[in-house]
Amino acid sequence: MLAIIGGSGLTQLSNLSIVRREVVRTPYGEPSGALTFGELGGHPVVFLARHGYGHTIPPHLVNYRANIWALKHAKVSAVVSVASVGGIRSDLGPGELVVPNQIIDYTWGRVATFFEGGDKPVHHIDFTRPYDDQVRARILAAASSAGIVVHDGAVYAATQGPRLETAAEVNRLERDGADVVGMTGMPEAALARELDLPYAAVNVVANHAAGRAGSETSIAFARIESVLQDAMVRVRKLLESL
Ligand code: HPA
């Protein structure tokens, strides 16, 4: 069974026929909300809204451990994360869909491992390729068969938020080699790897990152919402195809 973690703009899947909801208790506290089990494209899926169903949990306060543990507990075979991002690379403007292949982590102060405390031995996961190659390939194939254009490969910069970046910060991210910037990609991806859950992401470009084309002065929030709504129609189609 596939798990989908929905971010900003995707707090529910309108094409999901819901079978049941389950509140999962975890050793790490409460997940962002109940797991929603249902069917998408004739296949069972489980959906979780990363920021809560009322979109009240900011990126730095998401209980990433509880979310990933709950999905593992539900015996999912893979996790697809949907998350909105700012576009740094000039061809990644609002509305573009991106399947990233690398991560640079700039977050701080987030609990980023299951392996601490008690008698748990330290565990160093291999994270050379942070996203699962097979899940990525299946997302790309699903997009292709549904006729949806996605960008194959991008470096995702995970920032702390909840504020957006300064123009100078985005310049630094670009010098570091980042193509898109978001606030929720880490530690989520690393925690999934720690539990051996194949994990990949679909990023939806909501805006030009700060100081980039079209955002020379500031980021227009009214526009972000309409861009996301339009893009999520394609994301839902992609997920159904997947
Ligand atoms: N920066 C960080 N996170 C984001 C952005 C951004 O510009 N847009 C959507 N999520």
Question: Is the CB–ligand 1 distance for residue 165 below 6 Å?
Answer: yes
Average pLDDT over residues 195-205: 98
pLDDT tens for residues 16-58? 888 899 999 999 999 999 999 999 989 999 999 999 988 899 9
Residue 170: other Cβ atoms inside 10 A: 23
- The pLDDT of residue 14 is 79
Q: Is residue 218 scored above 70 in pLDDT? A: no
DSSP assignment letter at 207:
E
- Candidates 8, 84, 80, 69; CA nearest to 47 is 80
**Residue 10 vs residue 72, higher pLDDT:** 72
Q: How confident is the model at residue 225 (pLDDT cuts 50, 70, 90)?
A: confident
Q: Is the pTM of this model over 0.85?
A: yes
- The pLDDT of residue 215 is 67
Token readout for 79 is: 């996790």
Q: Is residue 228 scored above 80 in pLDDT? A: yes
Report the range of poorest mean pLDDT among 108-117, 189-198, 213-222. 213-222
pLDDT tens for residues 85-138? 999 999 999 999 999 999 999 999 999 999 998 888 888 999 999 999 999 999
Question: Is the CB–ligand 1 distance for residue 192 below 6 Å?
Answer: no
Question: Is the CB–ligand 1 distance for residue 207 below 6 Å?
Answer: yes
pLDDT tens for residues 146-177? 999 999 999 999 999 999 999 999 999 999 99
Domains of the chain are: 2-241 (3.40.50.1580)
**Residue of 97, 181, 184, 221 best suited for mutating to test ligand 1, as the one with most atoms within 8 Å of CB:** 181
- The pLDDT of residue 24 is 96
CA-CA distances (angstroms) from residue 150 to 48, 60, 230, 235?
23, 28, 15, 10
Question: Is the CB–ligand 1 distance for residue 209 below 6 Å?
Answer: yes
Distance 184 CA to ligand 1 centre (A): 10
Average pLDDT over residues 60-67: 98
Question: Is the CB–ligand 1 distance for residue 107 below 6 Å?
Answer: no
Distance from C-alpha of 69 to C-alpha of 81, rounded to nearest angstrom = 15
